[in-house]
């Protein structure tokens, strides 16, 4: 076992389970306690399993849930002000507008939870951990990886060394926060105000910082490698020779006429976000190296045989998109909706010559992407990052996953016949339930 606190969580243990009825009774006593009524009792739960239960819109101020399993819970609008949630697991829970003001969240795991509008003002988000007997252990960083924290308040919070990788912190309020040594890799911090924020030693590689006052942190020792800012977001569409839609029409004519009419479209390096939608557009053979599409509606877009190397598709709607034979090497797709997307190979024939063109996703970033039901036969995923991606019911026959990162990747019902995996690189949470072994090569 390594000494990396971000990747060595404590081993899981079986916790005592509470029912919804028992939890409701405990909450009723706690509310009497807060009101100062006779018979009231402060809620004190330690290392108990209450996952999947409902505590929405309850007042649990000063309650103690240390070490509890609180995953998949409905905690929307719940008040946890000054409560102890030390080393709790709140992953995948509904935390919309939840009040964590001055709460103790040290060592908490809040991965892929929805914290939209949550208030974490002056919350303690430093490291922490509990052993199986309830004693304190080597501190683990607070884990917000992949969480939706849009508009969350982190004013004055202590979050040094916390992990916000791939989280959405757009429009969040972080004035006065202590984020020393924090991991903000791929985090969406668009519109954030960094005044009086301590980011000494923080890692903000590939973070989205558009609309943020980056100048406030430019000399703070932050790693901003590949971060997207207003200064490097790309060329504006206003610089095109004519309106984009007219150029798309010309490109479609170029494709239809095999290059005899129209004009080939090259959008490499352009920032396409201002057009917001390219829904159902036919952009076969498009060249858009390092173009920025993130946040766009690209539903059913056709990008067969396109060159999209290092393009940024983070948080896009790519449902039923067509990427057959496309070059997507080093492209970014984190948090995109890519259900039923087509990544099948293309076969090109020139006279007696035939060329087989599989889809290239080498070194692509596909963290937290929903790819359910996608066609991905023969795709090259070598060295790609598929951490926490959902590949349920995908066709992965003969796909190449050599060197791919697959921590938490879901492969339930996927067809992996002939696929190549590096099993020593598969993370603990990797799921291979009910794999089909269909030998049909249609």
Q: Could you tell me if residue 70 is inside a domain? A: yes
Q: In angstroms, what CA-CA distances link 296 with 79, 193, 318?
A: 35, 24, 9
Q: Which whole number is the average pLDDT over 369-374? A: 97
| Residue range 170-218, pLDDT digits in tens | 988 898 899 999 999 999 999 988 888 999 889 999 999 999 988 888 7
Give percent above pLDDT 90 in the chain.
Answer: 71
If residue 128 lies in a helix (H) or strand (E), which one and from where to where? strand 128-130
Q: Could you tell me if residue 286 is inside a domain? A: no
Closest listed residue to residue 218, CA positions, set 241, 240, 195: 195
Say how many domains are in the chain: 1
Cβ-in-10-Å burial (0-12, 13-18, 19+) of 305 comes to: middle
**pLDDT value at 374 more than 70:** yes
Q: At 318, phi and psi to the nearest 5?
A: -120, 25
**pLDDT value at 92 more than 50:** yes
| Structural domain range at position 187 | 43-233
Q: Could you tell me if residue 383 is inside a domain? A: no
Separation between Cα atoms, residue 92 and residue 41, nearest integer Å: 29
**pLDDT value at 264 more than 70:** yes
Rounded to a whole number of angstroms, the distance between the first and last alpha carbons of the chain is: 43
Q: Which whole number is the average pLDDT over 384-409? A: 95
Separation between Cα atoms, residue 99 and residue 97, nearest integer Å: 6
Q: Which whole number is the average pLDDT over 303-318? A: 97
pTM, two decimal places: 0.81
Contact present, 365 and 387 (Cβ < 8 Å): no
pLDDT of residue 10: 46
Q: Which whole number is the average pLDDT over 1-7? A: 46
- Tokens for 398, please give them: 């003969």
Separation between Cα atoms, residue 378 and residue 344, nearest integer Å: 7
pLDDT of residue 399: 97
Mean pLDDT of the chain: 89
Confidence of residue 438 (pLDDT cuts 50, 70, 90): very low
Q: Could you tell me if residue 57 is inside a domain? A: yes
Secondary structure in 3-state letters for 35-71: HCCCCCCCCECCCEECCCCECCCCECCCCECCCCECC
Q: Which whole number is the average pLDDT over 403-429? A: 83
If residue 346 lies in a helix (H) or strand (E), which one and from where to where? strand 346-350
Q: Which whole number is the average pLDDT over 230-259? A: 94
- Strands (E) across 200-314 are located at 235-236, 270-271
If residue 255 lies in a helix (H) or strand (E), which one and from where to where? helix 244-256
pLDDT of residue 425: 54
Confidence of residue 416 (pLDDT cuts 50, 70, 90): very high
pLDDT of residue 3: 46
Contact present, 397 and 420 (Cβ < 8 Å): no
pLDDT of residue 137: 60
- Tokens for 159, please give them: 């979050």
If residue 34 lies in a helix (H) or strand (E), which one and from where to where? helix 20-35
Q: Could you tell me if residue 216 is inside a domain? A: yes
- State whether residue 27 is helix, strand or coil: helix
- State whether residue 89 is helix, strand or coil: strand
**Domain of residue 209, CATH code:** 2.160.20.80
Residue whose tokens read 């090109």 = 348
Q: Which whole number is the average pLDDT over 346-353? A: 74
Separation between Cα atoms, residue 184 and residue 230, nearest integer Å: 18
Contact present, 269 and 290 (Cβ < 8 Å): yes
Q: Could you tell me if residue 52 is inside a domain? A: yes
Separation between Cα atoms, residue 330 and residue 334, nearest integer Å: 12
* H helix and E strand count, the chain: 2, 10
| Residue range 59-70, pLDDT digits in tens | 999 999 999 999
Q: For residues 323-339, b (16+ Cβ closer than 10 Å) or e, as one string?
A: bbbbbbbbbbbbbbbbb
Q: Could you tell me if residue 336 is inside a domain? A: no
Closest listed residue to residue 96, CA positions, set 45, 47, 131, 56: 56
Q: Rank 21-30, 149-158, 170-179 by mean pLDDT and report only the highest.
A: 21-30
- Tokens for 283, please give them: 């952009």
Contacts of 412 by beta carbon, 8 Å cutoff, 6+ apart: 392, 393, 431, 432, 433, 434
pLDDT of residue 33: 96
pLDDT of residue 422: 84
Confidence of residue 131 (pLDDT cuts 50, 70, 90): low
CA 247 to centroid of chain Cα atoms:
33
Separation between Cα atoms, residue 91 and residue 73, nearest integer Å: 9
pLDDT of residue 437: 38
Separation between Cα atoms, residue 374 and residue 366, nearest integer Å: 13
pLDDT of residue 132: 62
Closest listed residue to residue 397, CA positions, set 419, 421, 374: 419
pLDDT of residue 222: 86
Q: Could you tell me if residue 48 is inside a domain? A: yes
């Amino acid at each position: 076992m390594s000494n990396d606190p971000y990747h060595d969580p404590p081993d899981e243990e079986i916790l005592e389970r509470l029912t919804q009825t028992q939890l409701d009774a405990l909450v009723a006593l706690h509310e009497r306690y807060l009101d100062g009524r006779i018979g009231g009792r402060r809620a004190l739960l330690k290392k108990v399993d209450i996952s999947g239960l409902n505590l929405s819109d309850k007042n649990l101020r000063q309650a103690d849930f240390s070490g509890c399993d609180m995953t998949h819970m409905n905690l929307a609008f719940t008040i946890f002000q000054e409560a102890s949630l030390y080393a709790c697991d709140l992953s995948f829970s509904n935390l919309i507008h939840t009040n964590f003001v001055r709460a103790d969240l040290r060592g908490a795991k809040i991965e892929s939870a929805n914290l939209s509008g949550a208030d974490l003002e002056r919350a303690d988000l430093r490291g922490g951990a509990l052993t199986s007997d309830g004693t304190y252990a080597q501190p683990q960083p607070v884990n917000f990886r992949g969480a939706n924290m849009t508009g969350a308040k982190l004013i004055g919070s202590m979050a040094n060394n916390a992990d916000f990788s791939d989280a959405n912190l757009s429009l969040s309020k972080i004035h006065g926060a202590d984020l020393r040594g924090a991991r903000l890799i791929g985090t969406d911090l668009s519109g954030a105000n960094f005044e009086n924020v301590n980011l000494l030693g923080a890692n903000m590689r590939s973070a989205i910082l558009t609309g943020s006052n980056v100048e406030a942190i430019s000399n703070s020792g932050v790693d901003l490698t590949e971060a997207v800012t207003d200064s490097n977001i790309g060329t504006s569409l206003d610089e095109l020779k004519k309106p984009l839609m007219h150029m798309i029409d010309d490109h479609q004519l170029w494709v239809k006429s095999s290059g005899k009419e129209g004009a080939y479209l090259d959008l490499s390096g352009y920032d396409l976000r201002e057009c917001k939608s390219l829904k159902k557009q036919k952009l076969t053979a498009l060249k858009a190296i390092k173009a920025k599409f993130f946040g766009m509606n690209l539903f059913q877009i056709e990008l067969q045989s396109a060159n999209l190397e290092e393009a940024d598709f983070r948080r896009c709607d790519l449902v039923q998109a067509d990427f057959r034979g496309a070059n997507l090497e080093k492209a970014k797709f984190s948090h995109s909706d890519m259900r039923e997307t087509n990544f099948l190979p293309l076969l090109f024939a020139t006279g007696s010559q035939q060329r087989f063109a599989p889809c290239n996703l080498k070194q692509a970033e596909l963290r937290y992407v929903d790819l359910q039901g996608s066609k991905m036969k023969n795709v090259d995923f070598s060295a790609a990052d598929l951490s926490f991606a959902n590949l349920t019911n995908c066709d992965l026959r003969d796909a190449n996953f050599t060197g791919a990162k697959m921590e938490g990747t879901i492969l339930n019902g996927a067809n992996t016949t002939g696929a190549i995996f590096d099993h020593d690189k598969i993370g603990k949470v990797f799921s291979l339930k009910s794999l089909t072994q269909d030998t049909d090569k249609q």
